[in-house]
Structure 1
């Protein structure tokens, strides 16, 4: 093994939150290119499985119970691949969403707990700030996927009538969580609007609690 490879491996081991964040962003960038075919969806399933594995690995670095993440993550991995081959099966989509949503919310809880477990700011905690935010967005995207299966017609979009794709729901989730309001997907049924409002509150609280804490700790350290 070369020195550069060892250095890369050391960085990855020391900063699993950065790996999780990078994996999620790569999946987001890859989705538009791979969703049009069965092979592409299978590849997306593999990418999704990798993201889940990385998330479990990242949680193992936190004070949260890693076995809980594994208990939620293993069935989520299985249904990630299953849905890649059966994207139109509502039952599979619903089960997959109901498995992924609590898993990603638990991962975000674990990473936020990791951010709050001491009084100093490390580089990996900075990466965890971004990773936890994106994990929450993914969790709500799966919530929306479940919502539109249970209550058809919950969302409308510029691409026409029918169910929104998971990528459209992820886009809605990111625009809601960041409060930019740029999404062309709109919740139209009361149940869908309720969950969107919950995510709006979560986005505000995340900035207020997590980012403010990191800034406060950084300022306090410089003042010493």
Structure 2
């Protein structure tokens, strides 16, 4: 894996994360959902390895997946002790760190190629996951933020629901089955919708346009 194909692996890792979370929610009980949320840390580690460079393991940002992995090993005890927000904050830090590393490679290095187009898609998926963690934290802290959600749910049952809600929001589908009521929750929702639309309309369109122009110029030479 190097910077020429790393986003292929990152795309696979993120899709596997989303698929496994949905499958655990549909086919297994809460204990399995907890297990899946913990074991998907390994998938996230794969994503980290491919974000920037071979020396990424030596960078400070690697502390986040290591911390997540250690916390995941003790997830049962931490949840019982009320430290589920701590796990989510680590997860949020890791998603943000990965998104920043991805954005730097997509936006500020070299020519636009197919790998960077995939990187732009990965960044979009990471944005959806970042907001999903934010919604989960908000619901845990203020149980009335999303009335459709149970106020007694654990983070590992809320998180898959908010992954769904986050991607429905960022794509502005707005099915209406989950809706915010508190002001801060509403702010996060409409901010995600705005960011998502501008991202697709400006950044991804520009990257694809630059790639097509590059291909056309090569053909005319």
Q: Which sits farther off after the overlay, 12-21 or 101-110?
A: 12-21
Residue 167 of structure 1 deviates from its aligned partner by 0.6
Whether 2:114 is the aligned partner of 1:128: answer: no
RMSD value, Cα = 2.9
TM-score, with structure 2 as normaliser: 0.80
Change (3 A) 1:89 1:18: farther
Whether 2:83 is the aligned partner of 1:92: answer: yes
Q: Is the 8 A contact 1:62 1:114 kept in 2?
A: no
Q: Where does residue 102 of structure 1 map in the other structure?
A: 93
Q: Is the 8 A contact 1:108 1:136 kept in 2?
A: yes
**SS of structure 2 residue aligned to 1:185:** coil
- Please list every run of at least 4 consecutive aligned residues from structure 1 whose deviation after the TM superposition is greater than 6 angstroms: 62-66
Q: Where does residue 22 of structure 1 map in the other structure?
A: 12
TM-score, with structure 1 as normaliser: 0.79
Structure with higher RCO (Cα < 8 A, 6+ apart): 2
2:62 to 70, 77, 87: 70
In structure 2, stretches of 5+ residues that fail to align are none
1:173 to 131, 146, 166: 166
Q: Where does residue 6 of structure 1 map in the other structure?
A: none
Q: Is the 8 A contact 2:117 2:204 kept in 1?
A: no
Residue 59 of structure 1 deviates from its aligned partner by 2.2
Separation of aligned partners in 2, 1:153 and 1:62: 45
In structure 1, stretches of 5+ residues that fail to align are 1-9
Q: Where does residue 4 of structure 1 map in the other structure?
A: none
